[in-house]
A = this chain, B = another copy of it.
């Protein structure tokens, strides 16, 4: 009896895992939304965190579950062992992409907010997901504007040579060649956080991410 029970459980371990796992579709149905990754890229000071926050609030007000992965915050936790060497930057983005993928798999709208200056690194993250589920948002703000804002005082330090390899100063930012959403100044005026969030929300609505897709057979 005991051996039989052991054997049954042993066999069912593998089968159970593959057959019974509550997958993404079930979670999406529960949440009435479709999991995806909104990847916000741009220079320091371009407004990535502001957009991420505004977007998170807007989605929440619509009863949608999102989660913000903020580059700076992650460097205090998951990525605290990483510095700013090129290979560390790449690993920083890779790990963030892997975690974003897990959140999307859990049915959430995952908002990743990182400078992510290298095109190749962003494309690596895109390739982790079905293409339509990776929504790249480019904060296309001029360097002069970002430097004038300098919310963390980092441009000043970079110009003084106290930070090396700073994106936009002595390390390149590679703009997306083809991204889903681009945000920029109009007539020299910056869009408001609400306007920017609205643009992303509209995109998500149009693509069906804010309602669970039901297929009716008629």
Contacts and interface: CB of A to CB of B under 8 A. Distances in A.
Interface residues of A, number: 61
Interface string A70-93: 000000011001000000000100
A16 to B, nearest CB: 5
Interface in A33-82: 45, 47, 49-50, 53-54, 56-57, 60, 63, 65-69, 77-78, 81
B145 A6 contact: yes
Given A53-B16, A189-B5, A10 B45 contact: yes
Contacts of A17: 49-50, 53
Q: Give the dominant DSSP class at A's interface.
A: helix
B151 A16 contact: no
A205 interface: no
Nearest to A56: B22
Contacts of A128: 77
A12 B31 CA distance: 31
A95 interface: yes
A175 interface: no
26 contacts: A1-B189, A3-B148, A5-B189, A5-B190, A6-B149, A9-B50, A9-B193, A12-B50, A12-B193, A13-B45, A13-B49, A13-B50, A16-B49, A17-B53, A20-B54, A20-B57, A26-B60, A27-B65, A27-B67, A65-B106, A67-B106, A77-B98, A77-B102, A78-B102, A81-B91, A103-B106
Given A13-B49, A65-B65, 10 more contacts: A2-B188, A16-B53, A16-B54, A16-B193, A17-B50, A22-B56, A67-B102, A67-B105, A77-B101, A103-B106
Interface of A: 1-3, 5-7, 9-14, 16-17, 20-22, 26-27, 30-31, 45, 47, 49-50, 53-54, 56-57, 60, 63, 65-69, 77-78, 81, 91, 95, 98-99, 101-103, 105-108, 128, 145, 148-151, 188-190, 192-193
